[in-house]
Structure 1
């Protein structure tokens, strides 16, 4: 499905990515984990053809990363969608939520108006949003509603690969867990391939099959999620990330047991 081979990226004389290699099979899932500045978001931008690598290859379904030509880019974006950390830039504030959801259907499908409306209602239901929200502009949505709407917009054209770049980092712990559960459900239902980028290892178990750890633009190690707690086999940097994640998870359990969860998303 997705192959990243000997990928290097240099910007302003600084090496941002250094010989990154991995593969995601059809229907597979990979978490890329590391602190801020490790190169995770740059990697996502390269896969989305928003930037070009200094060297190396990105291959998706046998097709190489497009370098020019609007049709090549259109097919690439039809098959690969991304949800970003900065969701405020994802939905046009001048449009209604309905118009925002309809935009990718107009650009990437041949559905007529009635079929587009049906698809929009279907995906709004999938992410647990009420149809009444469609008449509102994005600024009227809560943080959790906004993130769910961004997911629906990315998934509505049936991409083969979804990239999630720190999509829950701006949400509280309760909403984080709900978005993760939603991702699990949608991935199972659609057979979607998933690239999940995060600094928080506590979000990964149960969501992704493989974990790739990055630091300062380098691939530290890659392993199956079931081996996460095998400290003898893990790099010291991964262990430090894991300890930090365990502290966050402990806080979540205390919060969960202290009272009912918030219902407003």
Structure 2
């Protein structure tokens, strides 16, 4: 489904990503892991066609990454959706939550008003939010509710691929776990292909089948999540990331 071939991106002459290559099949889930500045978000922006690579190729369902033409971009964004870490600009603060969620259905489907309302209510319920909230504006939501609303909006057009770019990093541990469980449930229900970007390796068992580690824009290793805790087989950098994640999780549990 998604194939990355020898992807290279530089900004102002400095390499941000070098020789990135992987493939995700339909219904699979891949985690992209690394520290801040490792190139994770740049990779997400390239896949979303928000930026163009310096060299290399991105294919989705056999189609190359669009670089011109409204129809090409429209098809790309219908099939691939993203939920960002900083979601504050995802939902228009001047609209009601219903209007915010209805927007992608207006842009990407031919549903009539009644059909759009039905879909909004369906996905609002899938993410566990109360229907009465739809009358409010986004600013009335808590952080966890806002993330769920952004997830519902991303899923409304039934994309084939969902990219989650550090989408739970601003939530506390309990809300993180709730969002992960929600993603697992929706992925199984819809056969969704998932690209989950994070710095926290402890979130991944049960969610992603494979893990790719990035360091300073370079691909360190790609392995099955089942082998995450086999430290003898892992690159030392991956072990360092894992130990850091476990230390944070232990410290948080002691505080709570």
TM above 0.5, one fold?
yes
Give, in whole Å, the separation in 1 of the partners of 2:83 and 2:128. Answer: 17
2:214 maps to 1:214: yes
Taking structure 1 as the reference length, the TM-score comes to 0.95
Equivalent residues in 2 for 1:186-265, closer than 5 Å = 186-251=186-251, 253-254=253-254
1:261 matched residue in structure 2: none
C-alpha displacement of 1:245: 1.4
Correspondence for 2:96: 96
Secondary structure in 1 aligned to 2:18? strand
TM-superposed deviation, 1:247? 1.7
Report the Cα distance in structure 2 between the residues aligned to 1:250 and 1:13, rounded to whole angstroms.
Answer: 41
Asked if residue 125 in structure 1 is aligned to residue 125 in structure 2, the reply is: yes
1:161 corresponding residue in structure 2:
161
- How far is the alpha carbon of 1:253 from its aligned partner? 4.7
The alignment's TM-score, normalised by the length of structure 2, stands at 0.98
Q: Distance in 1 between matches of 2:161 and 2:154?
A: 10
Matched, 1:56 2:56: yes
Q: Distance in 1 between matches of 2:143 and 2:61?
A: 34
Instruction: State the 1:244 CA deviation.
Output: 1.0
Query: Which position in structure 2 is the counterpart of 1:140?
Result: 140
SS in 2 for 1:195: strand
Of residues 245-254 and 112-121 in structure 1, the stretch that sits farther from structure 2 once superposed is 245-254
State the SS of the aligned residue for 2:15.
Answer: strand
Per-residue CA deviations over 1:92-136 (Å, capped at 9, x if unaligned) read 111110000000000000110000000000000000000101011
Return the offset for 1:254.
4.4
1:28 matches 2:28? yes
What's the RMSD between the two structures over aligned residues? 0.9
Q: What 5-or-longer segments of structure 1 have no aligned partner?
A: 259-265
Give the C-alpha shift of residue 251 in structure 1.
3.9
Output aligned runs, 1:39-118, within 5 Å: 39-118=39-118
Could you list the runs of 4 or more consecutive aligned residues of structure 1 that deviate by over 3 angstroms after TM superposition? 251-255
